[in-house]
Amino acid sequence: MLWSVAAVGNIFRHCWKTPMPRFLLEKRRCLLPRMTPVRARKPRERRKDSCHRSRGISWQPLNATTCSARSRGTDLPLEYVTGDLRDAASLERALAGVQRVFHVAADYRLWSKRSQDIYDSNVGGTKNLLEAAQRTGVEQFIYTSTVATIAVDRSELPNESTDAKLEEMVGHYKRSKWLAEREVRNAAKAGFPAIVAMPTTPVGPWDWKPTPTGKIILDFLNGKMPGYVDTGLNFVGVEECAAGHILIAEKGMVGERYLLGSENLTLKALLDILAQITGLPAPTLKIPHGVALGVAYAETAFSRLVGREPQIPVEGVRIAQHMMFVDCKRAQRELGFQPGSATAALQRAVRWYEANGYIAPRRAKKIAHATAA
């Protein structure tokens, strides 16, 4: 579930989520509602039928951060207009003349002062966009869900056919995504051309916020992870995840779900890979879930008193009590999805954080020396 990254790069190369509802729309063909600034990168091979004229829709008010982030996408042919997932009228205006929608927006947080905000964006926003798409005659609707809606405890690895229940969803983010996905699947059953993409845990460059997933990597890089808990996730490179969305649009079946993932890794294995990449020592202290949960409750209570976001959200620790390993073979078999290795994706993430000043200077020097050696 520590997905964040709704990165849909090759849809328009790289997207990463931030807390502000934003959208990206191709003027002639595609709409990409998103919670993230766009970063362009020249594709390895430009598809003849790929989207090429785009409009970005920004939620007002803009601040210095979003303006700066917007400038990072200046090498993309984007036209920005104003809109909001919670404003149905703005969505209908944005969808005028659009044939294909990639709904990659989500409020991806494991803690919020007002949990209803997560539901308003993830569930209410999805319903608004579905209704606007139906009214304006959209021909294809790709919804970016999450592995979290099916990664539940089962005797066999969960996959796209796993029937997870709402009561199995831990926390507001998971519940909101489960409810939003249900809206999309119900629309597909009623005849609307909707398909569900289910990224696992994307990692790679341009997670500038960072997302909860990126924070795991950064905490390791900055020496803020004294130990680990026994948990596991499926990881995928953000670029491959983006390319997977394109494959779903081209080859996916209406009403179906497709997991976009690569490797199942325990948190300990992830930290060991990061240690190999950076030369920094991996934590060796295994922290019992009960201890971690107690610390999370205490830290959350203290954070509430001082008015800041908790560094160890209770929801995150509760999620970590479950292994989120899944079987991702369907997209590979039916769509030709070809994910790269998690190690390569983590290398790209580390290099990007290093190049963009996210790592404390002393730790960055250690990484540089280890790399040079």
Q: What pLDDT is attached to residue 296?
A: 80
Q: Per-residue pLDDT averaged across 261-274, rounded?
A: 96
Task: Quote the CATH superfamily of domain 14-206+235-263+326-340.
Answer: NAD(P)-binding Rossmann-like Domain (3.40.50.720)
In this predicted structure, the answer to whether residue 146 has a pLDDT above a threshold of 80 is yes
Tens of pLDDT, residues 147-169: 999 988 888 999 999 999 999 88
Tens of pLDDT, residues 73-108: 445 666 666 778 888 888 888 888 888 989 988 877
pLDDT above 70: percentage of residues in the chain = 76
DSSP conformational letter for 48: T
Domain boundaries, the chain: 14-206+235-263+326-340
Q: Per-residue pLDDT averaged across 284-312, rounded?
A: 83
- Of 271, 312, 245, nearest in space to 6 by CA: 245
Q: What pLDDT is attached to residue 264?
A: 96
Q: Is the pTM of this model over 0.85?
A: no
Q: For all residues of the chain together, what is the average pLDDT? A: 79
Q: How far lies 293's CA from each of 141, 300, 318, in Å? A: 39, 10, 7
Q: Give φ, ψ of 70 to 5 degrees.
A: -60, -40
Tens of pLDDT, residues 57-67: 444 433 334 43
Tens of pLDDT, residues 5-54: 233 333 444 333 333 333 444 333 455 555 433 333 333 333 434 444 45
Peptide bond into 61 cis (omega under 30): yes
Indicate the helix (H) or strand (E) that contains 176: helix 171-189
Q: What pLDDT is attached to residue 369?
A: 64
